[in-house]
Amino acid sequence: MKEQIKSVSRYIKSKYPGRYTLKIAQAANELNMEKERVKDMISKKLLSSLSIKAVATFIVNNPPRKIV
């Protein structure tokens, strides 16, 4: 799981070079959500911060579901 988080973190860092935290719009783009939903997740403590590692950890722990 740590390798998956590192891999996702490297991918996000390559998209946003020189950044350690993401803006709400960038995090929403990576999570495929609306900005309001990301703000709601932060307020409910489902997402600890907008750091690249926190976003990558959330993506690895909550993979997208395949809709059939």
Give the number of domains in the chain: 1
- The answer to whether position 66 is within a domain reads no
- The answer to whether position 13 is within a domain reads yes
Say what the pLDDT of residue 66 is: 72
- The answer to whether position 34 is within a domain reads yes
Give this prediction's pTM.
0.81
- The answer to whether position 67 is within a domain reads no
Rounded CA separation 22/33 (Å): 14
- The answer to whether position 49 is within a domain reads yes
Interval 7-57: pLDDT, tens: 999 999 999 999 899 999 999 998 888 999 999 999 998 888 899 999 999
Give the range of the structural domain holding residue 32, as residue numbers without chain letter. 2-61
- The answer to whether position 68 is within a domain reads no
- The answer to whether position 52 is within a domain reads yes
